[in-house]
Amino acid sequence: MKISIAIALMSGLMVTTIDCKKDDNKITSPTQLQKEISLQTSTALGKYLVDRQNRTLYFFSNDLNGQDSCTAGCQAFWPIFNVNNLTSDKLGDGLSISDFGSVISVSGKNQLTYKGWPLYYYAPAVNGTNTQEAPGQTLGEAVNNEWFVAKPDYTIMIVSAQLTGHDTKNYKSDYTEGIGKTTYFTDGRGLTLYTFKLDSLNKNKLTKSDFSNNNVWPIYETDKIVVPSILDKAKFGSINVFGRTQLTYNGWPLYYFGQDNQTRGFNKGISFPSPGIWPVPTQNINQAPQ
């Protein structure tokens, strides 16, 4: 009898010990360590951001100034994305916490940003009801030529914004005064790029050999071509400018404008020294002359 009780007690201790170990395993389960944001890769689109359920995240080209501009019924199709108290341990490989921020959306809620771009999901209408696209889908890419997957390494982005020169006047796409958005190129962080009217095909005629004027019109230094899917990569290239590499589009060397002060949304260079001398690059710009 005493032996049976001892065995029973020992069995009970063993069961308790095993159960405790199972609880410990639950604490460190893979599900609880899942990343809030990570990178997905596809043959067509390269690397892009997804949430913990592998749902694709998007940029909106109208958000040049870094604020949510998806107004009216827009957010039924493009719900905002947010993660409260995001920390580096919740990010997948290749992502840095310093690239993320937060803004207040049109609906008054917190919205996460990446490299200054507010992040969204895509929820197309299915039988009259907006339904968020399934994990792994990228149906929102290039919708209305305004929505693009959120990539970590864009070297060119397409934006749509009002042109406002250093003279504070508003300009239309033909560089006459007036109100109206122009669709043009920025770098991956939304900084406006320019072309120089006096340049020729793949020839920078402005920059001095000692780069003494590079602070006024800094060359866009990269040879990487990571662009939205609606753009023709073959039209991009690079040239050597006194030992530095400058990106080109359709033969036009690309520049920044110093007085934009590396600020998103600024395009002051379009009227300096007068309108039309420094046009912003657009998708259908004519090839630079020989």
Separation CA 85–CA 88 (nearest Å): 10
DSSP string, 199-215: -BTTB--S--TT-TTTT
Identify the pLDDT of residue 30: 45
Q: Look at residues 249, 230, 248, 250 and name the one whose alpha carbon lies nearest to residue 239.
A: 248
Cis peptide upstream of residue 30 (ω within 30 degrees of 0): no
Q: So where are the chain's domains? A: 37-149, 154-290
Contact 90, 82 (CB under 8 A): no
* Position 281, amino acid: P
* DSSP assignment letter at 144: G
Q: Which pTM was predicted?
A: 0.87
Q: Per the structure block, which two tokens stand in for 99?
A: 């690239």
Identify the pLDDT of residue 14: 40
Q: Look at residues 192, 214, 202 and name the one whose alpha carbon lies nearest to residue 252.
A: 202
Averages of pLDDT over runs of 10 residues in the chain (290 residues) are 41 40 37 80 96 98 96 95 97 98 96 98 95 97 97 97 97 98 97 98 98 98 97 98 98 98 96 98 97
- Say if residue 237 is exposed, middle or buried (CB neighbours under 10 Å; 0-12, 13-18, 19+): middle
Identify the pLDDT of residue 5: 40
Separation CA 86–CA 127 (nearest Å): 35
Identify the pLDDT of residue 247: 98
CA distances for 238 relative to 32, 110, 112, 178, 277, angstroms: 45, 39, 34, 34, 22
Identify the pLDDT of residue 277: 98
Identify the pLDDT of residue 34: 84
Identify the pLDDT of residue 29: 37
